[in-house]
Amino acid sequence: MDFGDILDQWDRETEKPAGKKAAKQRLEEDPAASGSESVDPLTAWLRIYGVNDKDAEIAKATVPPGKRRRRLLAKKPDATIDLHGLTRDEAWLALDNFFKLSRQQELEKLLIVHGKGNHSEGESVLKRSVRDFIERCPFAGESGQSPAIEGGSGSTWVILKG
């Protein structure tokens, strides 16, 4: 006698079959007991729980890039850093920390106040450093000069890549 025979004998003695055998036996005895004709388990599961299409949810949630860009251009900066009085190396480190922190906080638009370079001979040292940093930063997107209200040519805004 093998294990299957023992289970069959147990089912006959208790008269309450359980598991897959019980379901199959009930369907064979009365197909109407399931509420419909014979249905495979996957179809039954899908009828109960439905389909959750994550790709469709993402597509609904995403905003077209042009619309996002227009919104961000009109938006005030989420955070500002002032680099006045820092050396080129100090400013670079401050920008690196500022951008990493802003990325972790999921900020979208930043303002960097670097000054106009009134005390520099030629072009502003910090302005050039900020431009170099933005060009090399992997998550810095579009950038430009701020309106006169926010510092004019002495500041630069940056939109972080999403």
Domain end position, chosen among 58, 74, 94: 58
Same domain membership, residue 72 and residue 38:
no
The pair phi, psi for residue 109, each rounded to 5°, is -135, 135
Same domain membership, residue 68 and residue 104:
yes
pLDDT in tens, 104-158: 998 999 999 988 877 667 678 898 999 999 999 998 999 988 765 556 778 999 9
Show the domain range for 91. Answer: 63-160
Which residue would you say has higher pLDDT here, 145 or 81?
A: 81
Same domain membership, residue 81 and residue 23:
no
pLDDT in tens, 14-25: 765 455 565 566
Reported confidence tier of residue 89, pLDDT bands at 50, 70, 90: very high
pLDDT the model gives residue 26: 55
**Overall domain count for the chain:** 2
